[in-house]
Amino acid sequence: MRKIVKGLGIFVGLVAVIGLTAFAFLNEKRPVAPPSAQADSLAKKMLIAVNKSAWDSTHFITWKYGNGHTYVWDKKNNFVFVNWGDYRVLLNLQTWDRGRAFKGTEEVKGPDLDVVRGKAWTYFCNDSFWLIAPFKVFDEGTTRSLVPNEDGTNDLLVSYASGGVTPGDAYLWKLDASGLPLSYKMWVKVLPVGGVMATWEGWSKQPTGAMLPSFHQLGPLKLPIKDLRTGRTLTETGVSGSIFDPIR
């Protein structure tokens, strides 16, 4: 019995050593660089590449994220429809208490309502970031810094002191010559390893003029963005114009 326990102890120790070694190998320290006007200029170049002004005039957007979450977002009125599994949630981001949720055919009420609405809000914050992060580089609470590369180019480090559900996160953007994002590295609370890279691919010009991606590669994980539609009216996205009537 003692030999078995000793053997298990050695095995656990080896696993721990291997895990720590892998962590040390994979973990990348977050770059340290001061905010600068030059970084702001690079960020503005990115906004031009993705057509921020067209995004600002895009009132409605619908999409399905790779994790099976479906969204309808009324940017103009701050309404969001979120669907996953049996749940359908209508969020009113200006008047939270007006939000409603349904599981199957039954409306969710009481203490469970706020739990479900909170989960929908968390999903929306995360999944929308993977769609529109380039438009958020000048959000309140952000700072921008340049991180030089060996080839003489610069990457753009955007740090978030507030906002969303994980303030304190930072993203290091790699851009092409026009300013269009190619990828970013992440230092985020939800990942135990720093510097994990995700691609930003499949850029397309939307009917409203905004540029949006359709695919991310995160290591072996593929994150497609499907059924993406934008418009200045809900009907342009193929969604019923009355979807948000219950929470107005």
Domain that holds residue 179: 34-247
**5 in a domain, yes or no?**
no
Using alpha carbons, select from 152, 180, 166, 147 the residue that is nearest to residue 28.
147
pLDDT tens for residues 140-192? 999 999 999 999 999 999 999 976 666 889 999 999 999 999 999 999 998 99
**233 in a domain, yes or no?**
yes
Rounded to an integer, what distance in angstroms lies between the CA atom of residue 165 and that of residue 159? 14
Rounded to an integer, what distance in angstroms lies between the CA atom of residue 233 and that of residue 76? 10
**25 in a domain, yes or no?**
no
Count of domains forming the chain: 1
pLDDT tens for residues 46-56? 999 999 999 99
**19 in a domain, yes or no?**
no
Rounded to an integer, what distance in angstroms lies between the CA atom of residue 98 and that of residue 139? 26
pLDDT greater than 70 at residue 242:
yes
Show the beta-strand stretches assigned E in 30-164: 60-65, 70-74, 79-84, 87-92, 100-103, 106-108, 142-148, 154-160
CATH number where 222 lies: 2.50.20
**198 in a domain, yes or no?**
yes
**140 in a domain, yes or no?**
yes
Percent of the chain with pLDDT over 70: 88
**6 in a domain, yes or no?**
no
Rounded to an integer, what distance in angstroms lies between the CA atom of residue 224 and that of residue 133? 15
Indicate the pLDDT class of residue 20, thresholds 50, 70 and 90. Answer: very low
Using alpha carbons, select from 142, 200, 208, 206 the residue that is nearest to residue 169.
142
Residue 224 falls in which region: left (phi positive, over 0), alpha (psi -120 to 50) or beta: beta
Q: What is the DSSP letter of 142?
A: E
Q: Model's pTM, two decimal places?
A: 0.87
**159 in a domain, yes or no?**
yes
